Amino acid sequence: MATPRRLLARLRETMAHDAAPLHELAELVAAELVSEVCSIYAGRPGEILELVATQGLNQGAIGRTRLRVGEGIVGLCAATGKVMNLPDAQNHPAFAYRPETGEEPFASMLAVPVRRGGHTLGVVAVQNRNPRGYSAEEVDELETVAMLLAEVLASVGAADGAEEGVAATVPRVFSGSSLVPGIAIGPVVLHGALSRPARLLADDPDAELARLQDASRRMQQGLDELFSGVPEGADGTASREVLEAYRLIAADAGWLQRVSEVIRGGLSAEAAVQRVAGELRDRMRRISDPYLRERLADLEDLAGRLLAALAGNVPRPPVPPGAILLARRLGPAELLDWHAAGIAGVAVEEASAGGHAAILARALGLPSVGGTRGMLDSAEPGDEAVVDADDGQLVLRPEAEVRSAYLREMEARRALAAGWAPLRGRPAMTCDGVHVSLMLNVGLTMELAQLDTTGAEGIGLYRTEIGMLARGEIADVAEQAATYSRVLDAAAGRPVLFRTLDLGADKLLPGDAPEEENPAMGWRSLRIGLDRPALLRRQMRALLLAAGGRRLSVMFPMVATVAEFRAAKSLLLAEARRVRPAPEQLEIGTMLEVPALMWQLNELLREVDFVSVGSNDLLQFLFAADRSAPALFNRYDLLSQPVLGLLEQLLVAAKEAKGGAGVPISLCGEAASRPLEALTLVGLGFTSLSMSASGILPVKASLADLDLAAFRPVLASIRRNASGAASLREPISVWAREHGLAV
Ligand code: PEP
Ligand code: MG
């Protein structure tokens, strides 16, 4: 058996003449692996594998022998992505006899899939007369050959215009859930994808091993720095254990050893890491135990870090215009990065509508789907994809007719949206003349232009933490004041409700390792603010400075008790006594997100100037249902008896509060931006809603057709007759459609 290095050196020579003919490769591999036969099969459109080169079989079979994926041993190898190592291939149940090949004399067979990214591009197989099993070393060599062959097949495919490989030719649809409605079509870019190594083979393995060692040391250092910020102690123990486990894996000699072995075989350090990462990915697909899957996922993540260290953290390549971003998981800060690079749509394998990346995507108007599991295994950068976020699916490599149907639909929507344009300058009114104030949810100053493009009446929720997440740190007082002042300037007298920092749960600054089992119910938001009053007071000072004598409205997130509200309010009042000029008017309100406040309404409504219902968190806590768990997506409905009952009780109490003067109530959760929910909330008595920009015109358009006086008794009767139904969506939407409302 030839040493892999010798084989690779010969391959390198052969491939140096650019388009190495495949038959030369087959000849070389057969000779070096001491096999009578080496055959190369390439994927063709329609899930077909075609014999494209062979040493040892009849040359007349080239281009004639074609197998379906799944047919014969070669087809099975392509279908399963597994190595087939068979001493007696002809008696294997899958064996498919092809007389034109003349393969009768050959008993044993080793077939290895040729994979690139998530795709199987073909199969390379060797055969021998004597029945024998191939050694682990031989399997390893043929796998290395397959890795090189993948590059050759991909470039050959590109050159002759043939589509790329087996899986790559097949359209696939992945179902998930809608995070932000809309449709987008474009080329795929992958979040966190390992970029293809520029160099596959290396002349000097010792130099490559030294590079690997150096990169691995730098990766370890990076991890140490990353983890050093995580506190020790009773509460931190669990997270430390996890981090320690991760660190152990990072330092684990086993997988680095494996990478070193592959380097010694003649691959570059980058190619070796990718090769081992690919093996891990294949193993991961076959493992169902969640703990082991996580460990393997850690390893894959580490492989990415190691590659970044090898590359010296090169910047991301440019994003093609209108690209569709595919990610396993995505944080808000990462989404912002990609948005700045110009993506048009997003699909995330693990995400749900309530998560902050989804909220941000909504604010940015990026059609997005979540829960589209398995897509990353099939997608390749540059593949075309459709995010159909209305049906909650990702269509990969759409057929031509499907693609043009989507393009027609997008065109129709542009026309519909253009029809809403006249509504922009008008206040939202029901057709029987009730005014509803529609406000914007904003998190970034770049969204301020939407005040004018949508004709919103003000900002009903300014999420101050989003800007900090985008920059990756908490800004100082002067910087914060400058930002808030720009917001007030842009609002030009329209109301702005600033919400103090709502960090924690899924809104973590980089370096903040989650250290709690249930971060959504953990140390987050106002709880952090009250425990670290200096942080909160600095923000309050910045807000007061920004107001510079103008009217200022501030509210606190995640208030659970009246005492917490009072504590936060007194911090704000203390700051307000120090800052000059004092605001012309200072309004202090609360978010209502924690159900416990419902049993403190009397005291609460005496103390607050306004209440804004955060229905995203409120539903999460009311139904004990994690807002970012994809499995719970759409399981519990705002349009349901318990939520509408709670909201009505709140509206009644607010109306009677302060001796009948009342306390203003609005709702700023994502539900407000959906026309059916918005109509129902208005039917219940809300006259102020705050939503993402994409919701304003559609909600305005459907309110314009709503006869509120007629709807109120209908809603009341639907609620009365609900008799335990989990959702009232169906009867409400039936009524709305019958009355010509666009919902
Ligand atoms: C909410 O919880 O409804 C809300 C508006 O706040 P956030 O989505 O930022 O948690
Ligand atoms: Mg909230």
State pLDDT tens for residues 453-505: 889 999 999 999 887 876 667 899 999 999 999 999 999 999 999 999 998 87
**Claim to verify: residue 537 and residue 666 sit in the same structural domain:** yes
**Claim to verify: residue 8 and residue 144 sit in the same structural domain:** yes
**Claim to verify: residue 92 and residue 128 sit in the same structural domain:** yes
pLDDT band at 244 (very low <50, low <70, confident <90, very high): low
**Claim to verify: residue 151 and residue 189 sit in the same structural domain:** no
The helix/strand/coil state of 115 is strand
Assigned domain for 165 exists = no
Query: What CATH number should be reported for the domain holding residue 339?
Result: 1.10.274.10
Buried/exposed 307-316: b ≥16 CB within 10 Å, e otherwise? bbbbeeeeee
**Claim to verify: residue 473 and residue 384 sit in the same structural domain:** no
> Which residues are bridge partners to 50 per DSSP?
42, 66
Which residue has its alpha carbon closest to ligand 1 atom 10?
617
Atom of ligand 1 nearest to the CA of 612: 5
Q: How far is the CA of 615 from the centre of ligand 1 (A)?
A: 7
Name the domain boundary from 363, 398, 433. 398
Q: Classify residue 740 as left (phi > 0), alpha (psi -120 to 50) or beta.
A: left
- Domain extent, residue 295, equals 173-398
Q: What is the pLDDT of residue 646?
A: 98
Assigned domain for 182 exists = yes
**Claim to verify: residue 186 and residue 313 sit in the same structural domain:** yes
The helix/strand/coil state of 268 is coil
Instruction: Assess whether 191 carries a catalytic annotation.
Output: no
Q: How far is the CA of 355 from the centre of ligand 2 (A)?
A: 10
As given in the structure block, the two tokens for residue 338 are 């990609």
Assigned domain for 524 exists = yes
Q: What is the pLDDT of residue 22?
A: 83
Contact 688, 661 (CB under 8 A): no
CA distance 220 to 210: 15
Query: What CATH number should be reported for the domain holding residue 140?
Result: 3.30.450.40
Model pLDDT for residues 33-90, shown as the tens digit of each residue:
889 999 999 988 778 899 999 999 999 999 999 999 899 999 999 988 889 999 999 9
Which residue has its alpha carbon closest to ligand 1 atom 1?
614
Q: Residue 314 pLDDT > 60, yes or no?
A: no
Q: Residue 700 pLDDT > 80, yes or no?
A: yes
Question: What share of the chain in percent tops pLDDT 90?
Answer: 51
**Claim to verify: residue 447 and residue 588 sit in the same structural domain:** yes
Assigned domain for 599 exists = yes
Assigned domain for 409 exists = no
Model pLDDT for residues 566-601, shown as the tens digit of each residue:
999 999 999 999 999 999 999 999 999 999 999 999
State how beta strands 393-396 and 428-429 pair: unpaired
Contact 393, 348 (CB under 8 A): no
Assigned domain for 85 exists = yes
Q: Which residue among 616, 628, 646 is best mutated to probe the pocket of ligand 1, counting the most ligand atoms within 8 A of its Cβ?
A: 616
Q: How far is the CA of 673 from the centre of ligand 1 (A)?
A: 13
Which residue has its alpha carbon closest to ligand 1 atom 6?
614
**Claim to verify: residue 350 and residue 321 sit in the same structural domain:** yes
Q: Residue 632 pLDDT > 70, yes or no?
A: yes
Model pLDDT for residues 350-395, shown as the tens digit of each residue:
876 666 778 778 878 899 999 898 898 788 888 999 999 988 899 9
Atom of ligand 1 nearest to the CA of 356: 8
What are the two backbone dihedrals, phi and then psi, of residue 555, each rounded to the nearest 5 degrees?
-130, 160
User: 189, exposed or middle or buried, with CB in 10 Å at 0-12, 13-18, 19+?
Assistant: buried
Instruction: Assess whether 739 carries a catalytic annotation.
Output: no
Convert 213-241 into a string of H (helix), E (strand) and C (coil): HHHHHHHHHHHHHHHHCCCCCCCCHHHHH
**Claim to verify: residue 197 and residue 293 sit in the same structural domain:** yes
Question: What share of the chain in percent tops pLDDT 70?
Answer: 85
Assigned domain for 160 exists = no
The helix/strand/coil state of 661 is coil
Q: Which residues line the pocket of ligand 1, CB cutoff 6 A?
A: 359, 461, 463, 502, 593, 614-617, 668-669
* Residue 343 host element (H or E): strand 343-348
> Which residues are bridge partners to 440 per DSSP?
459, 691
Assigned domain for 278 exists = yes
**Claim to verify: residue 352 and residue 205 sit in the same structural domain:** yes
Query: What CATH number should be reported for the domain holding residue 508?
Result: 3.20.20.60
Q: Could you give the number of structural domains in the chain? A: 3
**Claim to verify: residue 363 and residue 419 sit in the same structural domain:** no
**Claim to verify: residue 653 and residue 537 sit in the same structural domain:** yes
Give the count of beta carbons closer than 10 Å to the beta carbon of residue 650. Answer: 23
CB contact set of 422 (below 8 Å; sequence gap of 6+): none
CA distance 646 to 660: 20
Residue type, 72: G
